[in-house]
Every structure is written in structure tokens, then in C-alpha cells.
């Protein structure tokens, strides 16, 4: 009987090792996925430098100003208010759909309904999105990330 107890203890220890290794692996995968989604929080500087390079070559301008990818215009009770400009050569699909090609993240959580005026934004056009992070935004500091395949914009927004 003592031999069976010893074998059961050995199996229990092995099970704990595998469980611990599995938990660590899952945490590493989550951390890498979060980093891949959010990227470097200093990316805002890099994105700002690249905005001029990615602007449409046709010289599109709005109200005398060069078209910008993202401009934070304030915080409201509904969420962050952004002006989003399509500086790319293809349509941006802004709303919750499997074909969406722009993503809004506030404090690490993806907002699938940013409250934009339009669902599709043509190259050179702008829209207002006034419910970004509606259920996620907090009073104080918020990390905003707007991401497409070509561009990542991030900013710390204080509300």
C-alpha cells in the first residue's frame, strides 16, 4: 500500500509541474499578444513622424490643414471624441464587422462600436467617432491606440 501512495505523490508532483508550466506559457502568450496589439507606447511619436509620409499624394487638405490619421478632440460622457482621417489609398471599414480594417483600443480593450458618423471612410475623407471607449474610458489617464495594417497611433489621453 505504501508503494501506491508514493506513486500517487509522484504523479501529483508531475501534474503540478505541468500545470505550472502551462500557466506560465499562457501568461507569456497573453503578454506577447497584448504587446503585439498595443505595441510600444512611444509609438505615438513615430506615428506622428510617419503621418506626413503616408498622406495622400493628391494634396488633399481639409480647411487649410493637412489630413491627419487621428486627432483627439476631447473626452465626453459617451467616450473619447476623435477625428479620424483616411490617409490611405483604400477604404477604412470603421464599424463592428468581420471585414473591419481599423481598430480602436482604450486601456487595452478593443472597442467594437466607436460611434463613428460613417461605417466606411473613403481615402481623403474624415469622420468623427465620439463614443470611443464608452464603457472602458476612465476619469484620469487613458491609453488610446488606433491601429490599421499600415499605421499605429497611440496617445495617453487624460479625461
Task: Give the three-class secondary structure for 74.
Answer: strand
Each residue's pLDDT tens digit, 133-144: 988 888 999 999
The answer to whether the predicted template modeling score (pTM) of the entire model surpasses 0.85 is no
Each residue's pLDDT tens digit, 17-59: 666 666 766 655 665 554 444 444 443 343 334 333 333 333 3
Identify the CA nearest to 81 among candidates 54, 97, 104, 101: 104
Alpha-carbon distance values, 108 to 38, 65, 126 (Å)? 7, 31, 25
Each residue's pLDDT tens digit, 68-124: 999 999 998 889 999 999 999 999 998 767 788 999 999 999 998 899 999 999 999
Q: Which of the two residues, 10 and 158, has the higher pLDDT score?
A: 158
CA–CA separation, 140 vs 159, rounded Å?
5
Amino acid at each position: 500500500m505504501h508503494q501506491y501512495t508514493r506513486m500517487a505523490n509522484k504523479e501529483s508532483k508531475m501534474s503540478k509541474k505541468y500545470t505550472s508550466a502551462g500557466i506560465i506559457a499562457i501568461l507569456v502568450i497573453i503578454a506577447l499578444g497584448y504587446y503585439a496589439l498595443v505595441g510600444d507606447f512611444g509609438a505615438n511619436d513615430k506615428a506622428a513622424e510617419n503621418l506626413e509620409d503616408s498622406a495622400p499624394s493628391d494634396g488633399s487638405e481639409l480647411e487649410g490643414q493637412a489630413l491627419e490619421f487621428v486627432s483627439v478632440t476631447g473626452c465626453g460622457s459617451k467616450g473619447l471624441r476623435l477625428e479620424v482621417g483616411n490617409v490611405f489609398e483604400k477604404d477604412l471599414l470603421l464599424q463592428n464587422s468581420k471585414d473591419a480594417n481599423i481598430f480602436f483600443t482604450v486601456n487595452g480593450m478593443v472597442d467594437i462600436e466607436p460611434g463613428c458618423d460613417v461605417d466606411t471612410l473613403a481615402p481623403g475623407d474624415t469622420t468623427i467617432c465620439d463614443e470611443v471607449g464608452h464603457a472602458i474610458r476612465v476619469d484620469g489617464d487613458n491609453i488610446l491606440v488606433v491601429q490599421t495594417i499600415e499605421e499605429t497611433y497611440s496617445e495617453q489621453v487624460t479625461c
